[in-house]
Chain A
Amino acid sequence: MSVLQFFLQNRGQVLELTLEHLWMVGLSTLFATLIGIPLGILIAHRPVYNKPVLAGANIIQTIPSLALFGFLLPLPWLGARADRLAILALTLYALLPIIRNTYTGIRGIEPAVLEAGRGMGLTESQLLRQVELPLALNVILSGVRTAVVISIGLATIAAAIGAGGLGEFIFRGLAMVDNRVILAGAIPAALLALLADVGVGWLERRLQPR
């Protein structure tokens, strides 16, 4: 029986696990964006916070993912359900590329543009909304793109703590020493990563400032 046959026979489950996978990645990316962009803006404007914030996000990246899932288990409420834990862990991992790219994007804006904006009497919030964020947008989006692609790969490990997703097939296949089952998880995950990369990349080009 080939991988394709296994796939077709289990297509219901493949679909279900893919949706679970997307759910985890989607929510964690959303949370990471909601936290990461404001943090990136903060450190771009207040350099004193730069080191602690980036160091924090960097340290999270160095924790092996299995260990992080384990660390988070004792947390109240979150620890009660594996998918909550997985989403939290994925959010933490996705923070670094989003914070760093937001920071880089804003700091990369030509100083003359900001000076002209201030000199014309834009308030700091007008400057942020009308100038800084639009001009930094494609750099920020490329950070989101990195975060999504990494998360899709990392989310397969969430199956180890019972959070579901395409990692189920991979772990089951490993236990059964059956490559077809591993591939039934790995191929859709890889395809998702590629699709996300192309999709956000397209958005990035669409929204590129001239």
Chain B
Amino acid sequence: MEESAPVIEICDVSCSVGGNDVLRGLTLQVERGEIMVLLGRSGSGKTTTLKLINRLVSPTSGEIRVHGVPTSQSDVIQLRRGIGYVIQDVGLFPHFTIEKNIGLVPRIEGWPAKRIGERVQELLKLVGLSQDIGPRYPHQLSGGQRQRVGVARALAADPEILLMDEPFGALDPLTRDELQKEFLSLQRKLRKTVVFVTHDLREAMRLGSRIALMEAGKLVTVLTPGEFVQSEDPLASAYVRAFGDGLLSSVNRGTS
């Protein structure tokens, strides 16, 4: 596979759930090492798009390729283990300690215990958590700490792709700001291919290499943050107006 080929290709995908068209004719490519933000209001199909990639949702028509291989032909379990997944509600296993939560995928992949232990310590450090948090349980952590654990868990087996569904949406503004900042510096080190769902334009501007604007199950346009603020597209400019001034200052400037 050549270096320049897109890591994720969504080709003319439609998807209906219970007779409702959730997605119609979506085509989108995500390049290696970029953060592709899916921006749109609730019901625009952005979460569905994300779940198509790790096959939590199956398309009605069209094809999704990951590393050039159609996902319909790959083993779903192996596909998912190669893709980190972070969701807003985090979904940490409440009966597992933090260490066990982070080490779950390496454990079921059969890593030796020593290597798992080292990896967990490494990841805790990477996401800015203290090492002594390992033996604790999720309910003993704050929302921000839990979300950091969620990111660490997604990164555990070092997947090349990271899917993030409004991971910072439920956090208070200060913690969110902190986690966005740290996520960007983490991404500078790790260079994962990230698909990031949000409805927050400010977050999209700050994190996105490119922004895919979605509305009512369709892709409206794909723009860089710089293009987005100047876009003539009615929906894009409506977004910019809704978020008001000061947006330009939060534009992602070549961080990824």
Contact = CB atoms under 8 A, between A and B. Distances in A.
Contacts of A114: 91
24 contacts: A113-B91, A113-B92, A113-B93, A116-B85, A116-B87, A118-B56, A118-B80, A119-B56, A119-B163, A120-B104, A120-B105, A120-B153, A120-B154, A121-B76, A121-B78, A121-B80, A121-B82, A123-B77, A131-B93, A134-B95, A210-B94, A210-B95, A210-B137, A210-B138
Nearest to A209: B95
A209 B95 CA distance: 5
A115 B56 contact: yes
A122 interface: yes
A68 interface: no
A8 interface: no
B125 interface: no
Contacts of A117: 91, 93
Interface residues of B, number: 30
A169 B78 CA distance: 63
Interface in B120-175: 137-139, 150, 153-154, 163
B79 interface: yes
Contact of A209 (B94, B104, B150): B94
Contact of A121 (B87, B93, B105, B150): B105
A119 B94 contact: no
A139 to B, nearest CB: 13
Interface in A93-126: 110, 112-123, 126
Given A110-B91, A112-B90, A210-B94, A122 B108 contact: yes
A26 to B, nearest CB: 28
A135 interface: yes
B250 to A, nearest CB: 29
Given A110-B89, A110-B91, A119 B54 contact: yes
A120 B80 contact: yes
Nearest to B138: A210
B176 interface: no
Nearest to B76: A121
A108 to B, nearest CB: 12
Contact of B80 (A110, A113, A119, A210): A119
**For the side of the interface on A, what is the size category?**
20 to 34
A115 B95 contact: no
Closest 6 CB pairs of A and B: A116-B91, A121-B80, A209-B95, A112-B89, A119-B85, A121-B81
Given A119-B56, A119-B85, A122-B108, A113 B94 contact: yes
Given A113-B91, A115-B91, A120 B85 contact: yes
B95 A135 contact: yes
A204 to B, nearest CB: 14
B85 A210 contact: no
Contacts of B88: 112
Contacts of B85: 116, 119-120
Given A119-B54, A135-B94, 16 more contacts: A110-B89, A112-B88, A112-B90, A114-B91, A115-B87, A116-B90, A116-B92, A116-B150, A117-B91, A119-B80, A120-B85, A120-B153, A130-B104, A210-B94, A210-B95, A210-B139
Interface string B54-69: 1010000000000000
Contacts of B80: 118-121
Contacts of B87: 112, 115-116, 119
Contacts of B77: 121-123
B248 to A, nearest CB: 35
Interface centre among B78, B83, B94, B150 (most CB of A within 10 A): B94
Contacts of A210: 94-95, 137-139
Contacts of B76: 121
Contacts of A113: 91-94
Contacts of B81: 120-121
Contacts of B154: 120
Interface string A177-210: 0000000000000000000000000000000011
Contacts of B153: 120
